[in-house]
């Protein structure tokens, strides 16, 4: 008999739309394959829904703040039903880009240099600090957002105007810009799934390039790397996955420049939409969508 799956979908983050798309795709595929499925918002009624439905597994279909930063995971731990993707601690570490960067650096994983900027500080000396420590251009980004929400590439002329867009965050990261190829690698459980290269028509692989089909980002699979470099890429991805204590599926985002892989961040709940990368990587490896979902369900746990 097929298991009962409760999918948590939507939420209040800036990635709500992507969460709904992910959850709809997963629900449709599970129902098609004989699973009993119910979908719920992560609201005050979630615990009652879980108690009434009594699922075997909870599929966490959320993206962004409150969904992949350890918050919803702490609620799911209290419910006591196995849930998909990473637990509280791994989710919190991965979502906080400064914390994860410190872990990468400590463990000799190459990542772009950065400074943390607080909006209570004066902007007057900022350009000279950036020029000295990082050099222009730079990438400015929130510390805890996903899907490249509010991420900008800045030069010394437009950085102040972009910072004005981000001032609601109080603190952000200003990161060394690494040119080169955009490559993403996926891990599932403790196994190396595969990689894909992206050639955005836009400046970089931002929110529009990820989720708007009109952006026409080129997807290249298999990635044109030597076997040695490909193995190095996948080794780094698995190392990062394990260092943070992740489970289920993760996708690590890299820049490949001058024969080096720079790990930008690790995503503990990558999208499962029609334009998402992990299903595409899986399909290339002969793992269809339902099999991918079942592998994620298999790794569900209540282990923090």
In the chain, where does DSSP find H-type helix?
16-32, 46-53, 71-79, 88-95, 97-106, 126-133, 159-166, 207-211, 227-243, 277-284, 289-298
Residues 97 and 210 in one domain: yes
**pLDDT tens-digit readout, 38-56:** 999 999 999 999 999 999 9
Tell me the C-alpha distance between 125 and 257, whole Å.
Answer: 30
Q: Does 145 qualify as catalytic in the annotation?
A: no
Residue 243 lies in a domain: yes
Q: Does 189 qualify as catalytic in the annotation?
A: no
Residues 97 and 211 in one domain: yes
Select which of 253, 256, 262, 282 is catalytic: 253
Residues 12 and 155 in one domain: no
Q: Which tokens hold the place of 5? A: 């799956």
Select which of 71, 117, 211, 262 is catalytic: 211
Residue 188 lies in a domain: yes
Residue with the bigger pLDDT between 301 and 57: it is 57
* Angle 215-273-94 from CA coordinates, rounded to 5°: 95
Contact residues for 258 (Cβ-Cβ < 8 A; gap 6+): 180
Select which of 60, 169, 271, 276 is catalytic: 271
Select which of 10, 11, 13, 15 is catalytic: 15
Average pLDDT over residues 120-145: 83
**Distance (Å) of CA 181 to CA 9, 194, 224, 232:** 33, 16, 11, 15
CATH number at residue 294: 3.30.470.20
Residues 77 and 184 in one domain: no
Residue 133 lies in a domain: yes
138-142, strands of its sheet edge to edge: 114-118, 171-176, 138-142, 152-154
Q: Which of 113-117, 214-218, 227-231, 244-248 has the lowest mean pLDDT?
A: 214-218
Q: Does 280 qualify as catalytic in the annotation?
A: no
Residues 202 and 281 in one domain: yes
**Domain ranges, residue 59:** 4-84
Residues 202 and 120 in one domain: no
Residues 119 and 241 in one domain: no
Q: Does 147 qualify as catalytic in the annotation?
A: yes
Q: Does 205 qualify as catalytic in the annotation?
A: no
Q: Does 24 qualify as catalytic in the annotation?
A: no
Residue 240 lies in a domain: yes
Residue 303 lies in a domain: no
Residues 155 and 65 in one domain: no
Select which of 267, 276, 282, 299 is catalytic: 267
CATH number at residue 34: 3.40.50.20
Residue 304 lies in a domain: no
DSSP letter at 217? P
Whole-model pTM: value is: 0.90
Select which of 251, 276, 282, 299 is catalytic: 251
Instruction: Give the number of domains in the chain.
Output: 3
**pLDDT tens-digit readout, 68-116:** 999 999 999 999 999 999 999 999 999 999 999 999 999 999 999 999 8
- 3 state DSSP class of 249: strand
Q: Does 206 qualify as catalytic in the annotation?
A: no
Residue 36 lies in a domain: yes
Residue 283 lies in a domain: yes
Residues 118 and 19 in one domain: no
Select which of 9, 19, 86, 147 is catalytic: 147
């Amino acid at each position: 008999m097929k298991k009962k799956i409760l999918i948590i979908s939507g939420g209040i983050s800036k990635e709500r739309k992507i969460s709904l798309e992910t959850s709809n795709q997963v629900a449709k595929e599970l129902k098609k394959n004989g699973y009993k499925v119910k979908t719920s918002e992560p609201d005050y009624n979630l615990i009652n829904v879980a108690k009434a439905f009594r699922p075997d597994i909870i599929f966490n279909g959320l993206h962004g703040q409150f969904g992949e930063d350890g918050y919803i995971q702490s609620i799911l731990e209290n419910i006591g039903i196995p849930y998909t993707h990473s637990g509280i601690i791994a989710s919190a570490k991965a979502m906080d880009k400064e914390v994860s960067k410190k872990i990468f650096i400590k463990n000799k994983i190459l990542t772009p240099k950065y400074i943390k900027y607080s909006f209570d500080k004066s902007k007057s000396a900022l350009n000279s600090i950036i020029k000295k420590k990082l050099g222009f251009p730079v990438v400015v980004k929130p510390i805890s957002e996903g899907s490249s929400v509010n991420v900008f590439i800045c030069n010394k002329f437009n950085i102040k105007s972009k910072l004005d867009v981000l001032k609601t965050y109080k603190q952000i990261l200003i990161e060394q810009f690494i040119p080169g190829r955009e490559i993403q690698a996926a891990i599932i459980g403790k196994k190396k799934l595969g990689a894909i290269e992206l050639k955005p028509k836009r400046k970089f692989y931002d929110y529009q390039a990820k989720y708007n089909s009109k952006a026409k980002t080129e997807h290249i699979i298999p990635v044109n790397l030597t076997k040695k470099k490909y193995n190095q890429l996948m080794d780094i991805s698995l190392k990062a996955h394990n260092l943070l204590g992740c489970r289920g599926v993760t996708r690590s985002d890299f820049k490949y420049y001058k024969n080096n892989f720079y790990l930008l961040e690790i995503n503990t709940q990558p999208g499962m939409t029609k334009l998402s990368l992990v299903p595409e990587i899986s399909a290339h490896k002969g793992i269809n969508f339902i099999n991918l979902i079942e592998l994620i369900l298999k790794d569900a746990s209540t282990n923090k």
